[in-house]
A = this chain, B = another copy of it.
């Protein structure tokens, strides 16, 4: 597993807002090395600071500015160009997931290149790269915001080290507790005359039990439901009725 996080390289970005928003989402997903090649409005850039939501100030993301792409990538071994369209170049073309696998499967310093807002990466820059990363954009509405493009990759990077499913569920109650709850409920329904006509009772009980069982209720939920049934049938506090 590659423990190095890839560098994000913005080639000739125009708007400080996008640089800052890109830095913010990098920080959200654990990327820290931002390389900015020839930003149109110079550096530092107040709009970038504002949109970074503190990513620069907190040291979560470190920006470095370069005059040329060649300088920006000099210490990297593997480069991936993000492009919206096929360029007819002789390079492997990756989805986000495959790009992340390629990076984590090797152990070399890697950079991901993103082009300017209007024009994308120039062909000169794409040629320098080992592979192309492309997103499955809607052909009829293909212009992705620069920071969103960085965000999609950043999330994929963060997701590769995260478990696929984090269970938010406590374990289901033991069957004894669930069955006790269902019997309690059915007893009260019987008392209330719910099972009519009597020959339909089995089907009605099965329907209820299937629904309760499928929900995988926890102990706490079973207790809450029993309390609710009790309250509905004999009341609570001053509303309590006393059965024979």
Contact = CB atoms under 8 A, between A and B. Distances in A.
A98 interface: yes
Q: How large is the interface on A (under 10, 10 to 19, 20 to 34, 35 or more residues)?
A: 35 or more
B142 A28 contact: yes
- Copy tally for this chain in the complex stands at 2
A166 interface: yes
Contact of A161 (B136, B137, B152): B136
Contacts of A159: 95-97, 135-136
A136 B165 CA distance: 11
Interface of A: 21, 24-25, 27-30, 53-55, 58, 60, 86-98, 132, 134-138, 140-145, 147-148, 151-152, 155, 158-159, 161-170, 218, 221
Given A24-B148, A25-B148, A97-B164, 12 more contacts: A24-B145, A28-B142, A28-B143, A29-B136, A90-B170, A90-B221, A93-B166, A95-B166, A96-B155, A98-B165, A136-B155, A136-B162
